[in-house]
Amino acid sequence: MSAGPARVAHLDLRDRDAAEAADLVAELLHTSQDLELLLVVDTAAAVVRHRAAFEALDTSRQVSRLLCLVAGRPPAAPAAPGADPAVLRLPSNIQR
């Protein structure tokens, strides 16, 4: 007998600063909620700043499959001449 379809947990990081995003992830990881499948919604302007939150999810080993939906326009080029634009670097265990 099948256990039925897995439930998808949802985490919305839009409109959160880096500390709030990390706190939300910490709270989520300390619940009894099944996190095997996780949908994270974020904005293009903030996803790079939320790196610590994503790293916490990755290292927790509680999430088997993660889909991150990034919405919005990418941030503008850096204001300082010669400054590098923000780049999201994926861990080696995350496939593109």
CB of 45 closer than 8 Å to CB of 72: yes
Note the pLDDT tens digit of each residue in 44-53: 989 989 999 9
Note the pLDDT tens digit of each residue in 53-70: 999 998 898 998 999 999
Question: Domain limits of the chain?
Answer: 8-71
Residues 6+ apart with CB under 8 A from 41: 10, 11, 12, 13, 14, 68, 69, 71
Q: Could you give the strand order of the β-sheet that contains 65-71, starting from the edge strand earlier in sequence?
A: 8-12, 37-43, 65-71
Whether this prediction's pTM lies above 0.85 is answered by no
Q: In sequence order, what are the beta bridge partners of 65? A: 37
